[in-house]
Amino acid sequence: MYSEIISVRTGEVLRIPERLSCGRQPGEHPSENNMNKKPSVTLPSQAVTLDQVRTTLKKQILDLQRPEIDLVLLYLRKLAESMKSPPLDTDWESFGSLIGKARESISPLNLVSVVDRPTEVPMLTGNATEKDDNWMLILLAALYRLSPVLNEGYRKSLFRTLGTKLREAGLANTRLLEPFYGATLGVWNDSEFVKMVAILDMYFVRFPDHQLSGARIGTGESRYKECTALKSLLDFSEQIGKSIAEIGEWLWISVLHDEFKVITKPGQELDNPFSYTPYLKDLRLVGRSAYSAANNPNMHLFIHAIGSALGVQRSKNAMMNKNSEACPDTVQNAIVFAYVLILAKEKPGDGDMSSQDWLRVWKEGGSK
């Protein structure tokens, strides 16, 4: 649809589209890609023991040396190979790939297809024990978590939080975290490293009592990365005590409805807490996530506008996406839903009108 306007300066008649595209590229769902096999990770292969690799990496960390990424990956590989889970109570499958059979003990590497890359990392001598794995894995996970943080104040806060966790895990000199982070900038963006972070987190989600699961203070950032709209919807559903389907009944404008359909597209294992889906970014399952706030700006705005009205601090801190195409209508829709939620809480019984009843009132511009 076009409208005609007359230029005040030239008198020229201009035909202007009533709606301009924001140029967003459509996001991808995991099922749209080659999900008939496990994700792959390419890891260094070398005839050394975990003890040798652990000793070498520990020495480099304590000496504040910048480790080669091959050493880090070799350590994570050897450590993952040594990890064994309790027997699975059921088969663990995701998108048709069998990760582990019932009554089988597995390691994190069961989650992926490993491609070997021969390497020759020099080994050092020194003292290191299995107990050092507790703080060394947390340290590597902490550096993953810190790497994308740009706000200096938040980074300082993370240094304190992570330092406490490292001290509890057995690292005596936690002051090395900040200088070691500075000495290793760029190391933690390696694609195979972030894949290892993702599979470790996926493993710890399935086995939360594992002795090394404290590393989730860092690896947890991998879960739902670039899935902000999906994660916000899941959290919002829990906060207000309504199902995803019930929330869908309160979306009255087309862009919200369209984005809701994108987020809730069937066949993506959203009901499987042990699926590959939450790790679609770091496991490189898609090029552009269908679940990001950038891909669903109106749902992002809708959820956090309501959350702000309900006093949720996370919603108050959420950044508004510039791609929201129907901002006034989205906000109006959010205001009505927020009002109903507050009314139901403060005056039980008064919030019992259906979404369709409230939609009729909204369209008529009247009141109950």
Segment 227-263, tens digit of pLDDT: 999 999 999 999 888 999 999 999 988 999 999 999 9
Whole-angstrom Cα distance, residue 263 to residue 247?
Answer: 13
For residues 318 and 230, give the distance between their C-alpha atoms in angstroms, rounded to a whole number. Answer: 14
Kindly report the CATH class assigned to 228-364: mainly alpha
What is the structure's pLDDT at 20? 46
Give the pLDDT confidence of 112-164 residue by residue, as tens digits: 999 999 999 999 999 999 999 999 999 999 999 999 999 999 999 999 999 99
Look at residue 98 in the predicted model and tell me its pLDDT: 97
**pTM for this prediction:** 0.86
> Could you tell me the pLDDT band of residue 353, with boundaries at 50, 70 and 90?
low
Q: Report the CATH architecture of 40-222.
A: Orthogonal Bundle (1.10)
Burial class (CB in 10 A: 0-12, 13-18, 19+), 48: middle
* The token pair that represents 148 in the structure block: 């994308």
Of 126-135, 179-188, 189-198, 219-228, the range with the lowest mean pLDDT is 179-188
Whole-number pLDDT of residue 26 = 76
- CA 307 and chain centroid, separation: 20
Q: Regarding beta strands 113-118 and 13-17, do their DSSP bridges make them parallel or antiparallel, or are they unpaired?
A: unpaired
Measured CA to CA, the distance from residue 305 to residue 332 in angstroms comes to 10
- The burial class, CB within 10 Å (0-12 / 13-18 / 19+), for 218 is buried
Position 327 scores a pLDDT of: 79
Looking at residue 340, what is its pLDDT? 86
Task: Specify whether the CB–CB gap between 38 and 301 falls below 8 A.
Answer: no
Range 91-95, long-range pairs (CB < 8 A, 24+ positions): 92/206, 92/274, 94/269, 94/272, 94/274, 94/275, 94/276, 94/277, 95/30, 95/31, 95/35, 95/36, 95/269, 95/275, 95/276
pLDDT exceeds 60 at position 187: yes
How far apart are the two ends of the chain, measured CA to CA in Å? 36
Positive or negative torsion for Cα 96, 97, 98, 99: negative
Q: Which amino acid type is present at position 226?
A: E
Question: At 355, is the pLDDT very low, low, confident or very high (cuts 50, 70, 90)?
Answer: low
> Where does 111-231 show beta strands of DSSP type E?
113-118
The pLDDT value given to residue 323: 60
Residue-level pLDDT at 5: 57
- The domain spans of the chain are 40-222, 228-364
User: In Å, how far are 38, 82, 200 from 106, measured between CA atoms?
Assistant: 15, 10, 12
Q: Name the residue with higher pLDDT: 87 or 313.
A: 87
Please report which confidence band the pLDDT of residue 329 belongs to, taking 50, 70 and 90 as the band edges: confident
Instruction: Tell me what percent of the residues of the chain surpass a pLDDT of 90.
Output: 70
With CA atoms as reference, report the closest residue to 194 among 155, 227, 222, 228.
Answer: 222
For residue 174, the 8-state DSSP code is G
Residue 173 has pLDDT above 90, yes or no: yes
pLDDT of residue 360: 57
